[in-house]
């Protein structure tokens, strides 16, 4: 009996030990929430309005006085997903809600309702986990820098705050990455040029080697030479293919040159989300495939005569604007377009130029913002 | 020199001064309270110098303990406000750190500077013959409790400032009253009797009494229960309320989108 009991206890110890070893081994392989997510950012029906009621009115209301609350809607049911490794742009006019989205996703602003997740972590309930994994270049990038600290010292503080291994080495790495010349590393922040300050802010955003980088108006203050380089950096996701870039900007060339997809936001609502290459499809055919004939100002009267003869050809649509004729040919036929040109020359019209209209992204955005998706 | 031009300067400064109505009111109040503080200091300290010598060793020793309060403990009242400086707050909140780490980290250096300043005063005062009779445990306890109470009040103050962005009544109240009523510069017992009741509602009075008992008369904790118990209770109450208000105000600022605003 005694032996049996001893064996029984020993056997239990053996089981416990074995399971402990297996548990420890397996738990090291547990995949953390978010690391297998296909979407880096998920935003669902996000709403946010700002209370603009004056402080004295709010205090008066606390004591029962009647005042009306002044509210400004910043986001009105915004939903979108950003894929892992995607460069995603948000475009829109001033006050459209771009910065509000960035602030919510970077955990410094709480939405009224809706849900937002970054790498699978809720931006409100798991804000610390979100902040561990993101880098931010805010709109006012001067904030959080010591003006009488050098560029290097400023970053070193953040390297310590992020508990980075080899902080000095990492600071050097990112300063080189953003191409801030070494001669400026030991300059006080306040003595750096606007462009250098912006580079330093970018370096701060990249310092913790984040999985998601938020860039709010990143090209503000950058010189032309660096903007081109910056576009290339964003396209390369700052050296990490898996990194997601969330870009909020007015800079259309930056969007066109870097973004995989773009969301256009206006008055707190998403108007369109498309790959940049497909944005032009949102503009009606008549605007995308038309031909433009520009004539000399002396030929304006003859141009009006020509318009009367256009009915003889296969022209779907046309418009005359002073000394410019814009027309759409059925099936985009180049022959018919050439026929119009011949008729113009035969009528003695002095032609300045004749070309197929190339609509640029700026015009596309303007048209979308002016009149919704199907703006014409 | 053109008198008219000088008048112009005078005019804009006067108008700007008038524009900040709350600050103007409290500036006037501070001036009056400050004037009374120095009047009491000048009049009664000379009158009761012998009693002070008997009780505290010397007036210089008495003052140096007041400095310990000013440089080490009073810093705690200001500390949480420094941590939420709007210039830095948004960025501090973006660091993947807990809020308390951010607050403590933001003020550590101030404490080191405060301790250095106090030690300088302490060393110079010793050179000039100030006598200290220190009970280390009681001194440390007094400092820890003082820091804790002031932290609590400081968090209430910072919480209010996160919302109002400018002025908070808590710091003003405790800063203005401590000089006259709490015994930083002279014992509060020198005040007329009705005013001493004001002293008794201020936690600084207990902090300074305990600190002086510990540093000048080597009193053990058991002999300072009159100060110890109110301070422990004050610390528990102010820290609980302060932490709640501070967290709520940060949340409120995050909801209103005013985290980085002045």
**Is the same domain home to A188 and A297?**
no
> What pLDDT is recorded for position A288?
67
More confident residue, A295 or A19: A295
Please indicate if any CB of chain A lies within 8 Å of the CB of B91: yes
- B87: nearest CA in chain A? A143
Is A6 inside a domain boundary?
Answer: no
% of chain A exceeding 70 in pLDDT: 85
Query: Do A52 and A130 belong to one domain?
Result: yes
Give A76's strand partners: A47
Domain count, chain B: 1
Domain with B172, as residue range(s), is 3-256
Instruction: Return the pLDDT at A32.
Output: 46
- Residue A344: which domain range? 285-358
Closest Cα partner for A155 from A177, A184, A193, A185? A185
Highest mean pLDDT among A133-137, A353-357, B9-13, B166-170: A133-137
Closest of A128, A135, A107, A146 to residue B100, by C-alpha: A128
Is B63 part of any domain?
yes
Does residue B32 fall inside a structural domain? Answer: yes
pLDDT tens per residue across span B68-92: 888 888 888 887 777 766 667 777 7
Q: Say which CATH number the domain at A318 has.
A: 3.30.70.100
Is residue A56's pLDDT more than 90? no
E-only strand ranges, A241-346: 244-249, 261-266, 269-275, 291-295, 315-321, 324-329
Give bridge partners of residue B171 from the DSSP assignment.
Answer: none
Regarding whether A295 and A188 lie in a shared domain, the answer is no
Write down the pLDDT at residue B113.
Answer: 87
pLDDT for A194 beyond 80: yes
Q: What's the pLDDT score for residue B3?
A: 85
Question: d(Cα B262, Cα B260) in Å, to the nearest integer?
Answer: 7
Residue of A nearest to B254 (CA): A109
Among A224, A255, A281, the domain-final residue is: A281
Assess whether A73 and A171 both reside in one domain. Answer: yes
Q: Choose the final residue of a domain: A236, A264, A281.
A: A281
Per residue in A265-321, pLDDT (tens digit) is 988 999 889 898 887 777 766 666 788 888 888 888 888 888 888 878 878 778 888
pLDDT at B106: 81
Q: State whether A183 and A235 are in the same domain.
A: yes
pLDDT of residue A33: 45
Let me know whether A275 and A289 are in one domain.
no
Query: Are the beta carbons of A143 and B87 separated by less than 8 Å?
Result: yes
Residues A256 and A316 in one domain: no
More confident residue, A156 or B52: A156
pLDDT at residue A21, rounded to an integer? 65
* Mean pLDDT estimate for chain A: 84
- pLDDT class of A109 with cuts at 50, 70, 90: very high
**Residue A24 forms part of a structural domain:** no
pLDDT of residue A26: 55
A23 within a domain of the structure (yes/no)? no
DSSP three-state, residue A77: strand
Q: Is B42 on the interface with A (CB under 8 A)?
A: no
Contact B257 A103 (CB under 8 A): yes
User: Are A226 and A330 within one domain?
Assistant: no
| % pLDDT > 90, chain B | 21
Residue B128 lies in a domain: yes
Res A137: pLDDT = 93
Residue A11 lies in a domain: no
Please tell me the predicted confidence (pLDDT) of residue A306.
85
Regarding whether A248 and A163 lie in a shared domain, the answer is yes
Q: How many domains does chain A have?
A: 2
CB contact under 8 A, A128 and B255: no
Are A73 and A109 part of one and the same domain? Answer: yes
What pLDDT is stored for residue A71 in this prediction?
Answer: 85
Residue A266, token pair as written in the block = 């206006």
The burial class, CB within 10 Å (0-12 / 13-18 / 19+), for A24 is exposed
Tell if the CB–CB gap between B94 and A131 is shorter than 8 Å: yes
Q: What is the pLDDT of residues B175-233, one digit of tens each?
A: 878 888 888 888 888 888 888 898 998 999 999 999 999 999 899 999 999 999 999 99
Regarding whether A291 and A269 lie in a shared domain, the answer is no
Q: CB-based burial of residue B117 (10 Å sphere; 0-12 exposed, 13-18 middle, 19+ buried)?
A: middle
Angle at A162 between CA A255 and CA A123, to 5 degrees: 60
For residue A345, being part of any structural domain is answered with yes
| Residues A180, A167 within the same domain | yes
CATH number at residue A41: 3.40.50.300
| Alpha-helix runs per DSSP H in B97-224 | 99-127, 136-164, 169-177, 193-201, 203-216
Q: Is residue B262 part of a domain?
A: no
Suggest the residue from A101, A104, A108 to mutate for an interface test with chain B (most B CBs closer than 10 A).
A108
Position A34 confidence tier, pLDDT thresholds 50, 70, 90: very low
| Cβ atoms of B205 and B227 closer than 8 Å | no
This prediction has a pTM of 0.74
């Amino acid at each position: 009996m005694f032996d049996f009991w001893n064996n029984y206890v020993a056997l239990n110890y053996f089981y416990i030990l074995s399971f402990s070893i297996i548990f420890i081994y397996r738990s090291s392989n547990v995949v953390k929430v978010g690391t297998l997510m296909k979407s880096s950012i998920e935003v669902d029906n996000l709403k946010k309005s700002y209370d603009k009621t004056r402080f004295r009115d709010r205090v008066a209301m606390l004591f029962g006085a009647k005042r009306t609350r002044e509210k400004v809607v910043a986001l009105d049911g915004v939903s979108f997903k950003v894929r892992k490794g995607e460069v995603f742009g948000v475009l829109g006019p001033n006050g459209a809600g771009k910065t509000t989205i960035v602030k919510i996703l970077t955990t410094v602003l709480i939405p009224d309702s809706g849900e937002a997740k970054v790498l699978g972590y809720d931006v409100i309930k798991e804000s610390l986990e979100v902040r561990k994994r993101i880098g931010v270049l805010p709109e006012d990038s001067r904030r959080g820098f010591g003006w009488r600290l050098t560029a290097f010292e400023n970053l070193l503080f953040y390297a310590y705050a992020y508990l980075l291994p080899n902080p000095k080495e990492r600071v050097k790495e990112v300063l080189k990455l953003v191409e801030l010349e070494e001669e400026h590393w030991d300059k006080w922040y306040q003595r750096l040029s606007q462009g250098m300050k912006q580079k330093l802010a970018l370096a701060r955003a990249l310092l913790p080697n984040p999985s998601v980088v938020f860039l709010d108006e990143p090209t503000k203050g950058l010189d032309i030479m660096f903007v081109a380089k910056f576009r290339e950096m964003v396209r390369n996701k700052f050296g990490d293919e898996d990194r997601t870039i969330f870009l909020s900007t007015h800079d259309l060339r930056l969007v066109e040159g870097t973004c995989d997809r773009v969301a256009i936001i206006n008055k707190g609502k998403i108007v369109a989300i498309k790959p940049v290459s497909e944005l032009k499809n949102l503009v009606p055919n008549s605007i995308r495939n038309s031909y433009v004939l520009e004539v000399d100002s002396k030929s304006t009267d003859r141009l009006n005569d020509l318009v009367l003869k256009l009915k003889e050809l296969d022209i779907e649509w046309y418009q005359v604007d002073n000394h410019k004729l814009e027309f759409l040919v059925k099936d985009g036929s180049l022959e018919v377009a050439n026929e119009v040109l011949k008729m113009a020359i035969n009528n003695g019209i002095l032609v300045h130029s004749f070309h197929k209209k190339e609509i640029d992204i700026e015009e596309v955005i303007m048209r979308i913002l002016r009149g919704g998706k199907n703006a014409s | 020199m053109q008198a008219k031009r000088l008048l112009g300067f005078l005019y804009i400064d006067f108008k700007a001064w008038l524009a900040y109505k709350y600050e103007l009111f409290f500036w006037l109040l501070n001036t009056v309270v400050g004037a009374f503080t120095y009047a009491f200091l000048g009049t009664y300290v000379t009158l009761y110098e012998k009693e002070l010598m008997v009780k505290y060793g010397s007036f210089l020793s008495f003052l140096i303990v007041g400095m310990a309060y000013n440089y080490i403990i009073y810093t705690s009242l200001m500390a949480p406000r420094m941590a939420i400086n709007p210039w830095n707050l948004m960025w501090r909140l973006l660091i993947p750190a807990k809020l308390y780490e951010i607050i403590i980290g933001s003020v550590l250096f101030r404490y080191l500077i405060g301790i250095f300043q106090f030690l300088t005063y302490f060393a110079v005062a010793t050179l000039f013959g100030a006598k200290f009779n220190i009970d280390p445990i009681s001194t440390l306890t007094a400092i820890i409790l003082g820091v804790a109470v002031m932290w609590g009040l400081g968090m209430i103050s910072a919480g209010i400032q996160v919302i109002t962005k400018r002025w908070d009544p808590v710091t003003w109240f405790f800063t203005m009253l401590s000089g006259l009523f709490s015994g930083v510069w002279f014992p509060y017992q020198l005040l007329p009797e009705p005013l001493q009741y004001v002293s008794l509602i201020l936690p600084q009075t207990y902090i300074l009494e305990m600190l002086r008992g510990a540093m000048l008369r080597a009193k053990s904790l058991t002999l300072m229960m009159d100060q110890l118990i109110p301070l422990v209770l004050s610390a528990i109450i102010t820290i609980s309320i302060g932490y709640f208000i501070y967290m709520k105000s940060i949340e409120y600022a995050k909801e209103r989108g005013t985290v980085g605003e002045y």
